[in-house]
Structure 1
């Protein structure tokens, strides 16, 4: 798992990327997923991400979307955010990942999550209480399946897995989530930890715990990438920091104060200063979502932020 190593991101410097627009934004702004990915790559961003959405939400199938993004771009890192291998039979997940690795020419990063609520797991026929155990089992099994090893499924031993010719390397795995269980899973089984919507102080505390756990497991400390939201520039219709924090809080049934330091807003210089605060928390990569404004323009401003950070 050597693609896009931390050595490619010098200490104190952030690799910067964007979460690709939702279907609603694509339709509203007459922007296809492939066009959005190409725009981000031409702007000079380091990463683009597509999020695996909960069942029932208007979204593309994650594997199809990531394949389209990978085929439309040439050098940008492609992140499949929140991919849930436990929702898929391991052999099927391995087929998808191997195909994505091939289409992306080794530029794939697999963001793995266990979220989406009980309805999502029920729709897939997977007991909600077993999501963590099945995710761990899949993460242990997938490298062997991608290498072409025929193995028995650890939690369904009577069902043999398939063989996957040709063999491909396992992509880097970023474990999504802010909970202690996600930090522990990243320390034991991941190449990176991928918290979202967490202030720098919380990320810093999690990074310390991540390093401690990784050392206890006899592994190097995984890298850290952060997902956040932003509204860059001074357009009159853009949401402000308080508006974004209130929206995050409402969606999660929490107090706005919990998210007060999360949104990245203001001028390019102000945004760069905000993002730079994550460097002290041990973060090497950041991915930003834009819930408002012209998506292309926001990406262009984010590219300017990246240049200041460099």
Structure 2
């Protein structure tokens, strides 16, 4: 797959420019600073060096990002060394399409190639050494989406960080990620220049989340598959689906929709998430506001208040207080930190 196999927008790389919430773009350049700038925008802050001056540097970066999932492809031509800060709020799957990638992350050293991918969690820095000629597919999934699905699988709150094994086999019985990464590539190829429609994107993201949580080892794998006498009731699952669909319902309205009492629904949310239904809804909406602020483009012309209002926060001062309590900073600080200049 090569997203720039279709005609896509070439980014004008200006200091202070941002990636919009939904972006499909590509560049091909021999300008190291331009390529490094875009790679940092797509991933996280890192130092990148070309290993040898006698190797020609020619970067090709393609990206399609929308609705909590990113599909990216990188090649730099030359051998490159990357020393990266921890990922902020997402998990990535690095799948070499050609060549090899040597990585170190969370005290694990892995060589990724066409039969073995590498998975990076939010915890811990990482180093990557790109072989000359490496072509790399990267899938990016929001940590919040993974944690939300994991809480449903466990029927209880998460009490420690979700971290994945780095090595991810792509063949044999343990290669659960192979099928889904190949399916994502095929779907984007088939969709053409506009990319897959929203329902297809949502289904692809759900499949990637399931493959990571059920088919690749992580810090909760044993708990996910351990026998449990109590599972999340059907009413709870339906209520969570209604909340995640954006339905502006009170706890009483939710209870009526899923045909249980308010007390039963409240106790199910407390047992599973450690939150009331209204607190769960507020936390989800706060996470969605933060995701938009992180991706907000200066060209969008939207204010923080407008983004908050779209997610049901009608009182700016109460919203700012709730946001600071949840993320440890005001929304204006998030905006300045992620979009300097």
Query: TM-score scaled to structure 2, two decimals?
Result: 0.28
Query: TM-score scaled to structure 1, two decimals?
Result: 0.30
Higher relative contact order (CA 8 A, sep 6+): 1
